[in-house]
Amino acid sequence: MEKKVINVGIIGCGRIAQTRHIPEYASNENANIVGYFDFNEDRAKEIAKKFGGKVYASVDQMLADSNIDAVSVCVTNSAHASVSIKALNAGKNVLCEKPMATSLEESEAMVKAAEDNHKTLMIDQNQRFAKSHVYAKKLLKEGQIGKVLTFKSNFGHGGPETWSVDGGPNTWFFDKNKSKYGAIFDLGVHKIDLIQYLLESTVKDVTAKLATLDKKDSQGNLIGVDDNAISIYELENGALGTVTSSWTYYGEEDNSTIIYGTKGIMKIYDDPKYSIKVILKDGGEILYNIDQIQTNNNQTKSGVMDEFISSLVEDREPSSDSGSVINTMRAIFASIESSKTGKNIVINKNN
């Protein structure tokens, strides 16, 4: 049987493309990187020299290339929707970085464009692919800690200025025009997607607070986006819990999730040795040493690009397809609305 190869174009060659998308495609025998586009042409040329492929003068030039089957959209948040929709309309399959878009309307327009063009739109919600999260989902489904009652999930580190390709206080993450929102888009989107994935239930309502507590721009003024976001979510299945995203965890990263059930507690990526720790009601412990969560300083293979390519080769829906991630975006924008209005927001899925 002839091996099917997916020809890929990379749109945006910043840190996430360099550390995840490009090397992971390069190591996949069913993927072939055809070329790159970046507003910084020298950056794109350097990458092409290292990994092979051509440099395109524009997004339009890349999308006009009939040789390209799929693209990775790794541009700033504000351009996710416009570039993804343009690519889908050009007949390309799309893997888009998170957050899916900077408004719910744009997110829904992306889903529609994928449906209208009969193309795949996958969102890089990489925490669904972490081995311990996959295994924890299985254990929860088997009822190891009984019925889930409450949860808390945290994602915090010292901020994107420490690792962004254009680091320091002028990083695009701090620019409201490019990022729209801060920690909730960068980190919170991962954890609320994860909670819905693990518990197989969507968010029903939310109360949230977004704040800018410490991050400053190059002029010494507080940045225009949130550096902390704390949300209380109620799921359709009745589970209640919190998601915290923060750019001000200066001591060490925290990427943990703790789930409390009627039979015990499950701690995921909370212990330096055991990736899952189950503490039962009777005091017994079950320890799982599966893997360790990725950190900014310890990047391991995400599995996202492999899943994207595999779904195209096998002609099936990928995990973290846009149709499921839209529920995450509803929860995120409800959180933002709650913070702005000071009210509890009930999510209307018929919008």
* Residue boundaries of the structural domains of the chain: 6-126+302-319, 127-300+328-346
Mean pLDDT calculated for residue range 216-220: 91
User: Does residue 270 carry a pLDDT above 70?
Assistant: yes
Mean pLDDT calculated for residue range 182-196: 96
pLDDT of amino acid 166: 63
pTM: 0.90
Between 104-113, 298-307, 337-346, the lowest mean confidence (pLDDT) is in: 298-307
User: Does residue 351 carry a pLDDT above 80?
Assistant: no
Q: Mention the CATH class of domain 6-126+302-319.
A: alpha beta
pLDDT of amino acid 350: 62
pLDDT of amino acid 347: 96
pLDDT of amino acid 45: 97
Q: Of residues 183 and 218, which shows the higher confidence score?
A: 183
Q: What is the pLDDT of residues 283-339, one digit of tens each?
A: 999 999 998 766 545 555 789 999 999 999 999 999 999 999 999 999 999 999 999
Q: What is the pLDDT of residues 139-166, one digit of tens each?
A: 999 999 999 999 999 999 999 987 665 6
Counting residues of the chain whose pLDDT is more than 70, the rounded percentage is: 95
pLDDT of amino acid 46: 96
* Two structure tokens written together for 250: 């200066």
Q: How far apart are CA 84 and CA 120, in angstroms?
A: 11
CATH number for 127-300+328-346: choose from 3.40.50.720, 3.90.580.10, 3.40.50.10090, 3.30.360.10. Answer: 3.30.360.10
Taking the CA of residue 275 as centre, how many other CA atoms within 13 Å lie in the half-sphere pointing to its CB?
A: 13
Inter-CA distances, 100 with 94, 156, 166, 318, 329, Å? 12, 20, 22, 15, 7
